[in-house]
């Protein structure tokens, strides 16, 4: 049997799959530790707040109240609520609350005929009259200085898009992943631009989009807009000081939520694959493409090779023979003790499953509201 050849192939594949993302992480880590802050000059342009909603009756009142308490001139703020076919009382609650408050804010509530957040955003792009807009999620919890922090970047005319940084709790299941995710995104921002955005709060210069729309048949609308900005010669960056919170999903919701996000991002990266060769962020884009689309399969084949070599070794030398193949098995088992390695395998499985679902024609772009997360968000706001 070709035990040695199979084992060696698995080791080589694992090395390649690990080396490319590792080198990119080191590059980003070095950049991440350098100062990267915007101008301290206050910039308060007229601003449209874009709030897509679907069945948000649990949090909509608290979310609007959060926006009204922002440290930003209310007279320069317009609120555009986009309802994507809610079946609850989201719109009635929002409208009644906005009419009842003492503070006068320019607002509009628009119902979108087609379901899906991306359809709603494309519809909104035709309605926005200001030079800048901020898009945010209803369940995301923001700080009062969020708008001030995000708009200051636009003093720099090369900046077309800005997003916030998720601040996970230490006991969050994805704490290590999110920590490394932030290092990469912030490092990419320092180097040039980051193609992958946080949709919980992000802002865009309308001229950076140049009238382009996102693909309405896939999600990952935040990253789609970021890529449009980059293609048009602007920079897309993450602000390390613009923090936001999100409630943590339980284990069941966690996988479902990550599958949807991963599939949307995979489709976005694949559709824009020419940017590997034509954009001004070739190496950054290549790494994102490699990590999300190619690397999972490399590691899957690598692990299968190692497992096959172990099985062939048992047939050839016996179960208790001390050789490099059986030691590889013991090493894999020892690695599984590490929470980092387990989370890594979980992430790889998500990316593979997302691609397999696509291959079988199962698309997860339908926008479904998670009631449990909305309730957690509402409870958190009431406590704070």
Q: For residue range 235-255, what is the model confidence (pLDDT) as tens digits?
A: 999 999 999 988 777 777 788
pLDDT for res 173: 60
Q: Specify which residues 205 forms β-bridges with.
A: 132
Q: Is 338 exposed, middle or buried (0-12, 13-18, 19+ CB in 10 A)?
A: exposed
Which parts of the chain sit beneath pLDDT 70? 1, 103, 168-174, 316-323, 325-326, 367, 383-384
Q: What pLDDT digit, counting tens, does each position of 82-112 carry?
A: 998 888 899 999 999 998 887 678 999 999 8
CA distance 264 to 268: 6
Output the DSSP codes for 289-335: HIIIIIHHHHHHHHHHHHHHHHHHHHHHH-TT--SHHHHHHHHHHHH
Q: Reduce the DSSP state of residue 216 to 3 states and report it.
A: coil
pLDDT for res 320: 60
CA distance 287 to 375: 37
pLDDT for res 142: 94
pLDDT for res 1: 56
CATH architecture of structural domain 35-257: Alpha-Beta Complex (3.90)
pLDDT for res 375: 79
Beta strands in 8-90 (DSSP E): 47-53, 77-83
Taking Cα atoms as reference points, which of 22, 80, 28 lies closest to residue 51? Answer: 80
pLDDT for res 5: 82
pLDDT for res 322: 60
């Amino acid at each position: 049997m070709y035990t040695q050849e199979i084992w060696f192939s698995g080791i080589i594949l694992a090395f390649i799959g690990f080396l490319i993302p590792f080198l990119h992480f080191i590059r980003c880590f070095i950049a991440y530790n350098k100062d990267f802050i915007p101008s301290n000059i206050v910039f308060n342009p007229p601003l449209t707040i874009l709030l897509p909603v679907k069945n948000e009756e649990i949090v909509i009142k608290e979310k609007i109240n959060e926006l009204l308490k922002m440290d930003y001139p209310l007279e320069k703020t317009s609120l555009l609520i986009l309802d994507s076919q809610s079946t609850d009382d989201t719109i009635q609650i929002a409208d009644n609350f906005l009419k009842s408050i003492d503070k006068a804010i320019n607002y509009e509530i628009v119902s979108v005929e087609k379901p899906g957040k991306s359809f709603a955003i494309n519809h909104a792009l035709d309605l926005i009259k200001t030079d800048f807009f901020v898009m945010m999620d209803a369940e995301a919890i923001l700080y009062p200085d969020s708008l001030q922090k995000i708009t200051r970047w636009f003093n720099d005319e090369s900046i077309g898009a800005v997003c916030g940084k998720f601040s996970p709790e230490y006991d969050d299941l994805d704490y290590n992943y999110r920590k490394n995710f932030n290092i990469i995104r912030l490092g990419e921002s320092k180097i040039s631009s980051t193609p992958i955005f946080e949709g919980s709060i992000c802002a865009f210069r309308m001229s950076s989009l140049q009238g382009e729309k996102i693909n309405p048949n896939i999600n990952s609308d935040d990253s789609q807009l970021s890529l449009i900005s980059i293609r048009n010669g602007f920079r897309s960056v993450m602000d390390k000081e613009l923090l936001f919170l999100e409630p943590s999903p339980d284990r069941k919701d966690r996988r479902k939520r990550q599958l949807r996000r991963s599939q949307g991002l995979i489709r976005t990266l694949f559709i824009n694959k020419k940017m590997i060769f034509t954009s001004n962020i070739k190496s950054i884009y290549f790494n994102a493409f490699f990590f999300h689309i190619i690397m999972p399969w490399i590691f899957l084949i690598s692990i299968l090779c190692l497992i096959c070599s172990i099985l062939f070794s048992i047939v050839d030398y016996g179960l208790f023979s001390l050789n490099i193949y059986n030691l590889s098995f013991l090493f894999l088992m020892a690695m599984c003790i590490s929470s980092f390695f387990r989370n890594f395998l979980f992430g790889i499985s998500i990316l593979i499953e997302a691609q397999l679902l696509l291959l079988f024609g199962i698309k997860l772009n339908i926008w479904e509201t998670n009631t449990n997360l909305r309730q957690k968000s509402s409870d958190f706001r009431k406590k704070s």
